[in-house]
Structure 1
């Protein structure tokens, strides 16, 4: 594979606009801090992977804010309009049209993403037309294609934010593959995400806490106290696991 592009989808770090379900447990300010830590962790993994990176951001008018989050000297591209599927489709299609042999797309809220996992995904595309990284909630944290293997139909009429997303996407990839083509997609190991208070509690305990040591998100967990849960005192039991 000559060139595999890496795309990271990022939201501008605006209170009340990111990690809203997590904010129900720990409040807008702490959820925003968690998101900033997740973005920093994902970007560290992206840099460690050695893959050429483009940050695909929203809203389009928030370039200055997103640059403040992700840092100068990076390549930025506004997300297209439409639902999540349309925005992912547009980002991948553009990278492939711009000359990439293959393209990987990930979100920016993945505390356990590593450079090794991204390199594993890129290597998988040397032998298969697609790669998928399933998330613990039934969605996926990574999707990628070779130029010849690109299947935009996997982004259409998908029930986003439901436990059916990864399985339905994989089924469509398999249905689109020629019968004699071998594996339709490589499947990476599952990773947990961090959308709700319960997710935060799991990441703060074994085995994940050890893996997060030394990362920006691990530093966020280390600084989390009972005060972070004042927005919803019923969730304070989570802090006992941190």
Structure 2
């Protein structure tokens, strides 16, 4: 599904205002990663992310729209992103981007609930008694647990997480992270984070297994053919 954002000229209130259309939410975050880590200093100095759907730029340094055609910035997104120049202030015409039904900004180091995209009333749940390694993680319709989701690269707290990033999913109450029992695929909490876990794995690597402990809870299983989950 397409994703929208505004970009505004930071030095005045009337010119170089755009609506950006991204092929998806993931493309928006990946475009920002490319721009914000570019070696072309004029773009990293010019374009700032205020929020997921609002950016500023200083066209005296670099125009955000030119990020798609300037070598070393974000040319790989030319077929997945486009900019529409809005009327200047005197035109009194503002294109309103559609509101989102659900939105969580994927900022590394923040805490989130994790829920099913298909059945958003089903959440990952780790019982409060789970203060020991090897306790299971479940999916529940009545209970939920908040987790810290962080990039494993050093110095990345506060940055936007994209699909290719390796992450750790950690309990907020105790220093234990998501891991997997190799022989069964059951998801547990462990003192050692799961190695090689990517943010994109939330889209297709986890599913529910057998009922356990109560009729409300099902085991969370790591598999090659999983369901889609999202941060909330």
Instruction: Settle same-fold status: TM greater than 0.5.
Output: no
Give me the TM-score of the superposition, normalised by structure 2.
0.24
Greater relative contact order (Cα 8 A, min sep 6): structure 1 or 2? Answer: 1
Question: Relative to total residues, which structure has the larger strand share, 1 or 2?
Answer: 2
Question: Relative to total residues, which structure has the larger helix share, 1 or 2?
Answer: 1
